Structure 1
Amino acid sequence: MDSSVIVAGLVCIAAVFVLLVLAAVVSRRRERERRERLEVWAVQHRWQYVPRPVNEWWRRLPGHNKRGVSLALSGVVGGRAVSVAEYSYTTTSTTSGPDGSTSTSSQTHHFIVWVVRVRGSWPELSVHRRGAVSRFGRTLFGDRATALGYEPFDSAFRIRAARPETVRTVFGRDLVAEQLSGRLPEWSLYGGDLMVVESGRLAEPDGIPARFGPLVRVADLIENPR
């Protein structure tokens, strides 16, 4: 093989390596700056910024990664203690090539966790909008014990509850109406933590307090059912 071809190949490999290193450096710097913005915002608004907080939220999150909560910001919204956290977990997959070789790849899944404190201690309960599979299952097998008996709601949402008898205690008329209106997110409740989980990572922090509005409304309706 021509030595010039070998040299050109080595140069290309070196260039790719340098680009990868530079991309990693830039990514780490941007991540550091992003976290610094969150921390500065927390100080300015009298919130608390906590890296790697001790918590039990991971038990209710996808992947159940005990060390997955990387940071949390905690403050008060609408007179309630609230927290927003970042959580992640990693999945690994292995593929086989036609020659019998295998390759392994990993993917990290990022989530934002919104938590509002509710008075009292509640058994596990969550509400989810029905998808096609859930609607089909309902057609085949009927409603579960957690159904409210109100067709517009039961056809649009499914409720999971550790104690089905508590469902009607939680879902008053106003909560049902607002959930149906689309003004409220899917949520879960356990102990004193009311939670919403969404994919992504925190960006600019200025909109954080307003994002708690719908979940604070859920908390109010749970504590004061009407």
Structure 2
Amino acid sequence: MEGIVFAIIFLVIIVVGIGLVIAIPLGLIARRRERARTSAIASWAGSLGFTAYPPGTPVRWTERLPGHRATGVRMLFAGQRGGRTVGVAEYEYHETTTQMINNQPQTITSTKRYLVCVADVGAEYPPIEVVERSGGSKLWRWLTGPADTEIGVADFDARYRVSTESPEVARQLVGPALVAAHVEGSVPPWSLYGSDLLAYWPGRFDAKTALPCLDAVVRVAELLGK
């Protein structure tokens, strides 16, 4: 019996040892890759003349992002683009869910990351948000009829929902040119609080896609009121 116990203990030690042998190099590789990624992004931002800010830099627009994590900005760069002050960032928050595994509740934490682009519109406005309608939003609209925040363009109102407590201001800002851009799908959903126009996409900061995303937000800023 003792021999079996020792054999089991020995087997566990071997399995743990193998796990450590595998895990430690993988962890080192992951850290090297992350350093290389952040270095490449910093070089990209520097080539655009952008200024880098340290991780966790407080910014007022994190309250508009999923998770609302005030210290969730991992990378942040700011500069000028299209004659406007802009910012581009990687933001993350941790989502905790409970799942039943083998009839036992298990808490699982996952990290959600987003690319965030912000442009200063040069004036202060009340909060306005334009988002794509979900299935529930489309059903609610069908059941209750048009909301008082709708723009009055059928194709746009069917696909997008405008959230604001200032419908008249929203209709002034979301004019024909911006409505057309939304209908053709050339601009992203966005929100405007004060002078900060913001859009975000799920995923990590990628220098290959960050500039087109930033330019799309700048285009929204240029089309406001047109």
Whether TM-score is above 0.5 comes out as yes
**What corresponds to 2:212 in structure 1?**
210
**What corresponds to 2:79 in structure 1?**
75
Distance, in Å, in 2 between the alignment partners of 1:188 and 1:215 is 10
The answer to whether the Cα contact below 8 Å between 1:127 and 1:158 also exists between their aligned partners in 2 is yes
Amino acid at match of 1:63: G
Distance, in Å, in 2 between the alignment partners of 1:151 and 1:106 is 41
- Distance apart, 1:4 and its partner CA: 4.4
The answer to whether the Cα contact below 8 Å between 1:92 and 1:105 also exists between their aligned partners in 2 is yes
**What corresponds to 2:133 in structure 1?**
130
Amino acid at match of 1:167: A
- Distance apart, 1:21 and its partner CA: 2.5
Amino acid at match of 1:60: R
Q: Which digits, 9 at most, give the CA deviation of each residue in 1:136-165, with x for residues without a partner?
A: 110101111101122222112110013222
Indicate whether 1:12 and 2:15 are aligned: yes
- Distance apart, 1:5 and its partner CA: 4.9
Distance, in Å, in 1 between the alignment partners of 2:37 and 2:184 is 35
Distance, in Å, in 2 between the alignment partners of 1:110 and 1:190 is 22
Relative to structure 2, which stretch is displaced further, 107-116 or 17-26? 17-26
**What corresponds to 2:145 in structure 1?**
142
Q: Which digits, 9 at most, give the CA deviation of each residue in 1:106-152, with x for residues without a partner?
A: 11111110111101001111111222211111010111110112222
Could you list the runs of 5+ residues in structure 1 that have no partner in the other structure?
none
**What corresponds to 2:161 in structure 1?**
158
The answer to whether the Cα contact below 8 Å between 2:58 and 2:71 also exists between their aligned partners in 1 is no
Distance, in Å, in 1 between the alignment partners of 2:101 and 2:184 is 50
Of 16, 21, 24, the residue aligned with 1:21 is: 24
Amino acid at match of 1:208: A
- Distance apart, 1:28 and its partner CA: 1.8
**What corresponds to 2:222 in structure 1?**
220
Q: TM-score, normalised by structure 2?
A: 0.89
Of 77, 89, 99, the residue aligned with 1:85 is: 89
Q: TM-score, normalised by structure 1?
A: 0.89
RMSD: 1.9
Instruction: Describe the SS at the equivalent of 1:62.
Output: coil
How many residues were matched structurally? 222
**What corresponds to 2:34 in structure 1?**
31
Amino acid at match of 2:167: P
The answer to whether the Cα contact below 8 Å between 1:69 and 1:87 also exists between their aligned partners in 2 is yes
The answer to whether the Cα contact below 8 Å between 1:77 and 1:209 also exists between their aligned partners in 2 is no
- Distance apart, 1:31 and its partner CA: 1.3
Q: Which digits, 9 at most, give the CA deviation of each residue in 1:11-43, with x for residues without a partner?
A: 122111232222222222211221122222223
Amino acid at match of 1:94: T
**What corresponds to 2:69 in structure 1?**
65
Percent identity over the alignment is 32
Of 50, 53, 58, the residue aligned with 1:54 is: 58
Amino acid at match of 1:29: R
